[in-house]
Amino acid sequence: MTPRTRFTALLLAGALAMAACSDGGSRSRPAGDTTLVIDTSFDLKTADPGRMYETTGMFVDKALYDTLLTFDGADVTKPVPALAESYDLSGDGKVLTLKLRSGAKFSDGTPLTADDVVFSLDRVRDMKGTPSFLLDGVKVAKTDDTTITLTSKVPNPALPYILPNPVLGILNSKVAKAHGATTDPKDQAEKYLNSASAGSGPYTLESLNVSNQVVLRANPNYYGTKPAYAKVVIRNVAAATQKLNVQRGDSQIALNLSGDQVKTMPGGLHVTKTASANVIYLHATRNEAVSKTTPNPKFVEAVRKGVDYSGLLELAGAGAVQAPGLIPSQLVGALPQQQAAKRDVAGAKAALAASGLVNPTVKLEYPSELTVNGLSFQPLAERIQANLKEVGITVDLAPTPITTAADNYRTGKEEMGLWYWGPDYPDPSDYLVFLPGKSVGTRVGWKTGADKDVENAGEKAATAVGDDARRQAYTDMQTKLNASGPFIPLIQPSQNIVAAASVTGLQYHPVWTIDIADLGVK
């Protein structure tokens, strides 16, 4: 996810065409108690969908709680029906109408109703947990027993892309209320929801230890296609041990291996290498109280032209791609690769000369212990330092513990920063925060009114409705942002997943990493 709320890569998928890892999605359920063991590095605080917003929690809750809409496999360009059999967004983008499917049941066998939907979404919005912002300004109403309307105060064409998020899973409201669930900050249901699930998903929660292990069991009352695995064990394991375990058959899936770790894998294992939707980028403050150097537009141009993007990709390993813009390649509105910046040392030196700065020195801050998709920031920073030295810019590296780095980032104290952004939901509107006066723009001293051309492009993108109109608007916005903004997109690192040959149907997903219920066994 993002430096706003957490500092581990929130997943996100890349090329969306799996590289040598899937058996076509076939799923069969053999006799007996078939168990799937998944090793991962836990980013997990809770299984309560109203409070959860961590990487591991996303694929746990995806298995426990069905949502109104979902995505087809790894494709995030079009939401598809789930608990809602259809949906319609009004022409002004303010009203989303959803028709509920019939026959959906919770794990205790009781029918899922429109009242459960309204309660669940109101709870997420109003109890002010981490994911509450997803439904800010959205009113949820039951039109009749099979119809739900979501009304936004302003155009909200991203809403269909937000609803598949597992934090918006639908709770059995009667069960949840009996265990302290409310639609205000006094809610007390988390303890119960960490011991038993109250959802309609393909799995139920057998046990949860946020430090060690989560165990899921197939839901005997599931109304949809029965999952192939009767039991799923998700373990918190260091990356080096993940590699050993999957090699010797102690686990069937390893989720957190680096590009170097997957270079040599024995036969019988499938390795997925695909660009994640995390974008690693540089930013240069426009705040003259923080720096007298980086607010100079020609300095930023020199940095943009001076970075060796191909060299950064070599560090990132197979599966990584250059990021032409801040919106990752999987999302509507992503820039084409032909618009990616290219190294031009002569052009960088010319821009630096035009800036009037002579042998400038800047400080580059980044979190010292953070890795994104197994990639450390330190070698990237060292490579950028060497690149810019050739241009005439001295970069002092300032690796900082994550808590300090996060504070400096949020309070706008960094002269230059090396960070990453992973989408909170797979829609380009999540990147409007980089504009002048918005949350990330403000952190780098880019205030409202600083660049009206970019701001106008952002306003047009925010209100555009329809895939074609939105694609064009966000492409235009990013083109302008690259031309004059304080952000320099670098790379989308590779997401690597290793799976046993017996596992079928594996696809890396940009929101929930993997869909456990889609996995088959042969």
- If asked whether residues 199 and 346 sit together in one domain, one would say no
For residue 119, is it within any domain?
yes
For residue 14, is it within any domain?
no
**Cβ–Cβ contacts within 10 Å for residue 397, how many?**
16
Number of alpha carbons in the 13 Å side-chain half-sphere of residue 167: 27
Among 335, 363, 351, residue whose Cα is nearest residue 279? 335
User: Which mean pLDDT values do the consecutive 10-residue runs of the chain (522 residues) have?
Assistant: 37 32 41 82 93 93 98 92 97 96 96 98 95 96 97 94 97 98 96 96 97 96 94 94 95 90 86 91 98 98 98 90 96 95 98 97 93 88 98 97 90 97 91 96 97 97 92 97 97 94 92 94 90
Task: Kindly state the helix (H) or strand (E) to which residue 13 belongs, with its residue range.
Answer: none
User: SS3 for 338-350, per residue?
Assistant: HHCCCCCHHHHHH
What are 421's strand-pairing partners? 279
- Please give the DSSP secondary-structure letter assigned to residue 517: G
State the CATH number of the domain containing residue 267.
3.40.190.10
Question: Which pLDDT value is given to residue 374?
Answer: 78
- If asked whether residues 245 and 168 sit together in one domain, one would say yes
User: Rounded to whole angstroms, how far apart are CA atoms 124 and 165?
Assistant: 12
User: Rounded to whole angstroms, how far apart are CA atoms 428 and 467?
Assistant: 11
Q: Taking CA 131 as the corner, what is the angle to CA 193 and CA 99, rounded to the nearest 5 degrees?
A: 85
Single-letter residue type at 476: D
pTM of the model: 0.84
DSSP letter string, 158-218: THHHHTTSGGGPPP-HHHHHHTT--SSTT---HHHHTTS--S-SSEEEEEEETTTEEEEEE
For residue 12, is it within any domain?
no
- If asked whether residues 479 and 513 sit together in one domain, one would say no
Q: Could you identify the residue written with the tokens 């001295």?
A: 394
Among 497, 518, 521, 516, residue whose Cα is nearest residue 40? 497
Question: Which pLDDT value is given to residue 33?
Answer: 66
Task: Kindly state the helix (H) or strand (E) to which residue 39 belongs, with its residue range.
Answer: strand 35-40
The sign of the torsion formed by the CA atoms of 59, 63, 65, 68 equals: positive
State the CATH number of the domain containing residue 467.
3.10.105.10
- If asked whether residues 257 and 396 sit together in one domain, one would say no
- If asked whether residues 238 and 338 sit together in one domain, one would say no
Among 381, 317, 309, 313, residue whose Cα is nearest residue 341? 309
For residue 367, is it within any domain?
yes
Quote the number of domains for the chain.
Answer: 2
For residue 28, is it within any domain?
no
- If asked whether residues 461 and 517 sit together in one domain, one would say no
**Six token digits for residue 409:** 């980032």
**Six token digits for residue 157:** 């064409």
CA 163 to chain CA centroid, nearest Å = 14
Question: Which pLDDT value is given to residue 5?
Answer: 38
User: Rounded to whole angstroms, how far apart are CA atoms 66 and 142?
Assistant: 18
- If asked whether residues 477 and 505 sit together in one domain, one would say no
319 φ/ψ angles, rounded to the nearest 5 degrees: 100, -25
Residue range(s) defining the domain that contains residue 513: 35-273+495-521
For residue 15, is it within any domain?
no
- If asked whether residues 256 and 338 sit together in one domain, one would say no
- If asked whether residues 182 and 267 sit together in one domain, one would say yes
User: Rounded to whole angstroms, how far apart are CA atoms 104 and 25?
Assistant: 23
**Six token digits for residue 511:** 């929101």
For residue 450, is it within any domain?
yes
Among 63, 80, 193, residue whose Cα is nearest residue 127? 193
- If asked whether residues 396 and 357 sit together in one domain, one would say yes
**Six token digits for residue 518:** 């889609």
Single-letter residue type at 410: R
Contact 405, 366 (CB under 8 A): yes
- If asked whether residues 451 and 512 sit together in one domain, one would say no
**Six token digits for residue 299:** 């300095």
CA 300 to chain CA centroid, nearest Å = 27
Single-letter residue type at 108: D
Contact 171, 110 (CB under 8 A): no
- If asked whether residues 202 and 283 sit together in one domain, one would say no
162 φ/ψ angles, rounded to the nearest 5 degrees: -85, -40
Question: Which pLDDT value is given to residue 319?
Answer: 87
